[in-house]
Amino acid sequence: MRVLNGKPVSPGYAKGVAFVYNKNSNFEVNYQSIEQEQIHGEFQRFQDALQKSSHELKNIRQKVLSELGQSESQIFAAHLALLNDKRFISKVKNRIERDLVSVEHSLDEEVGDLITLLSYVENEYLRERASDVKDVSRRILKHLGHGYDEILHNIKPGTILVAEELLPSDTLKIDRNHINAIITELGGDTSHTAILARSLGIPAVTGIPNACTEISDGSELLVDGETGIVTISSHLEDSDKFSVKKERYDKLSTRAESESQTECITEDGVEICLFANIGRPEESLEIKRNNLKGVGLFRTECLFLLLNKPPTVEEQVFAYSSVASNLQNMPVHIRTLDLGGDKKPLFLSSNFENNPNLGARGLRFSLLEKELLQIQLQAVIQSNTHGNIKIMFPMVIGGDDLAKAIDCVHAAHDAVKNDRVPEIGAMIETPSALFQLDEILELADFISIGTNDLAQFILAADRNAVDLLSDDSILHPSVLRAISQIIDSANQQNCPVCICGEAAGNPTIACLLIGMGIRQLSMSPIRSARVRMMIRQCQVNILQELAGKALNSKSPEQVVNLVEQFEQNMTLYKHGE
């Protein structure tokens, strides 16, 4: 038995036989020099390939829309946008004319430059867009006469697909009834392939180094899409144990799905509000589908990161108002730009210092870039006519910077002459905010706790250093006590408080937070069904007892043992009985 560790990006358990898909994403095409008189012909070949690719993508987008939904179809809308990007088209043509090379050669060079640029970006969301660029390039090449094989159409039932990287189009080609799971070396949680895998209900693990060489064709694999553990095993005992775990998970998932439209109320009658974390407008469609109460966190920086210039007021109004309109009067908490750290838009790439995680971030950065902030605030306030929008500032340091941000809101409100000023909240995710919590609570209409960054700063660990900052980092007693202090202070002042970090999507940690006094949780919609089901089986007094023990623990290990024991005692949850 051998165990490989990766990152889970689509939940579930699967066992099957490995098929190692070694196809190189780069095509072996015959790059040729051309004569001056052939330039027009190459331009025409390129234009024809673009038109055919566009027609094909429109059909794919419509198919995905009807089978999976609008959110997933937007992946291929993004591909269409790149395909029609005038700057990209112009660069390819200019290289053909300047270097006297074939369209294949020019396309390969331009795509290579763009992928190289994206590979150096720290932000995962931006890095993942490289796969979309490759996918579009491959589609154009196909229509230039460099077709690719259709081997993914013919995979046998019970297969676990192992690849260096899967592009979105690859994922759509696979037969979901034959593929039990996906394992890749490259890709992350925000990749479009991961999004499609989750929509298709296929467990997926990524980030396994050298997976294509570590795993042999025909190997028997056990894939844990909850933990990211892949086991290479031919032992019957391993398979039997895994089958029991899979059966329990499947039973649990079925039950959770059946309860997804019920109210999230504890066994003793305490209502818990579940909200969604989203990064793109189309993701708001998942909120009603999962019976959530609105958007707890709209990460707006995803609208800015890939652009060479900031979006206009009108472009932002379109994005924000579409979410507000979809959700009618449900609350939509729009977080203003959280730039800095690993989030650096192309149009501001020169503004960031060498140590961005400890430099200007979040609200501090926005107050330095006031014009950018004012444009966003004007767009948010204009969009408020379409629904129930609330403004949330990230990385608030204390009362002083929050007061300056509130002044910016009122200035933006005066500029657009809207009757409604949205409620204004602060994200508490820095040690400084803990020491100025009273001043912040005096100014804020609500607060939200960003557990990811709060844990990073309290534990002095890089948020991206997996070995230093695990998924259980919130269970460190210091982090729990900080969160408890925030909750107690907010509740004393009747200020609504929500958890919007990744911890909210973990059922057992969510229950621990409820025991600490939390009544609002915001998470990825895909996580909400299991969180809801577990909460419905709990009594608040039991959760308060769990929280008391956790807060008095002396080490993270003690807290982990407590929550694991709690989970084991939840027989209905654990076994789905």
Among all residues, which ones are annotated catalytic?
192, 500
Structure tokens at 200: 């298709």
DSSP string, 490-515: HHHTT--EEE-SGGGGSHHHHHHHHH
Q: How far is CA 90 from CA 54, 77, 97, 103, 107, in A?
A: 17, 20, 11, 12, 11
Under 8 Å between Cβ of 458 and 431 = yes
Count the alpha carbons within 13 Å of 338 in the hemisphere toward its beta carbon: 23
Straight-line distance from the first to the last Cα atom of the chain, in angstroms, rounded to the nearest whole number: 31
Under 8 Å between Cβ of 493 and 515 = no
The CB density around residue 310, as the number of other CB atoms within 10 Å, is: 19
Nearest to 172 by CA among 137, 135, 221: 135
Structure tokens at 143: 């229509």
Sequence-distant (6+) residues with CB within 8 A of 333 are 275, 294, 295, 296, 297, 298, 390, 392, 425, 448, 498, 522
Q: Give the DSSP H or E segment for 319.
A: helix 313-327
Q: Give the alpha-carbon dihedral of 401, 403, 407, 408, to 10 degrees.
A: 30
Nearest to 319 by CA among 270, 382, 362, 261: 382
Q: How far apart are CA 205 and CA 222, in angstroms?
A: 11
